[in-house]
């Protein structure tokens, strides 16, 4: 499922953004980050709305498969999740 569920993901990260492996993030923190991301304005899940757990599970599958990556931008202190296909 190559990022079909998360069309609201940003484009390529800023040049000075640092990739953060999802496995380096504490489980509770990762869950909080995933919840915040999937509830951002602009994310569209199609004709059938999914509950929060389903959205988070879908995002976790994308992170685990490498179809999405987490980036931290130190200057702004922002964190974003980006579709891998947008990186190339």
CA 49 to the chain's CA centroid:
18
What gap in Å lies between CA 76 and CA 83, rounded to an integer? Answer: 20
pLDDT digits (tens, 9 = 90+) for 19-56: 999 999 999 999 999 999 888 865 555 666 778 899 89
What gap in Å lies between CA 25 and CA 17, rounded to an integer? Answer: 16
If one counts the domains in the chain, the total is: 1
Q: What is the pLDDT of residue 75?
A: 87
Q: What is the pLDDT of residue 39?
A: 86
Q: What is the pLDDT of residue 35?
A: 92
Q: What is the pLDDT of residue 12?
A: 56
| Domain-located, residue 62 | yes
CB 17 within 8 A of CB 67: no
- What does pTM read for this prediction? 0.74
| Domain-located, residue 74 | yes
| Domain-located, residue 41 | yes
| Domain-located, residue 54 | yes
pLDDT digits (tens, 9 = 90+) for 12-26: 566 788 999 999 999
| Domain-located, residue 5 | no
| Domain-located, residue 24 | yes
| Domain-located, residue 11 | no
Domain that holds residue 38: 18-86
CB 82 within 8 A of CB 9: yes
Q: Domain with 63 in it: what CATH number? A: 1.10.10.610
pLDDT band at 87 (very low <50, low <70, confident <90, very high): low
């Amino acid at each position: 499922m190559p990022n079909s569920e998360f069309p609201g993901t940003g484009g390529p990260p800023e040049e000075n953004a640092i990739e953060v492996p999802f496995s380096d993030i504490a489980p509770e923190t990762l869950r909080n980050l995933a919840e915040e991301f999937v509830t951002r304005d602009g994310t569209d899940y199609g004709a059938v709305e999914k509950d929060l757990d389903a959205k988070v599970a879908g995002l976790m599958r994308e992170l685990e498969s490498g179809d999405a990556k987490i980036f931290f931008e130190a200057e702004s202190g922002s964190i974003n999740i980006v579709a891998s296909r947008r990186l190339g």
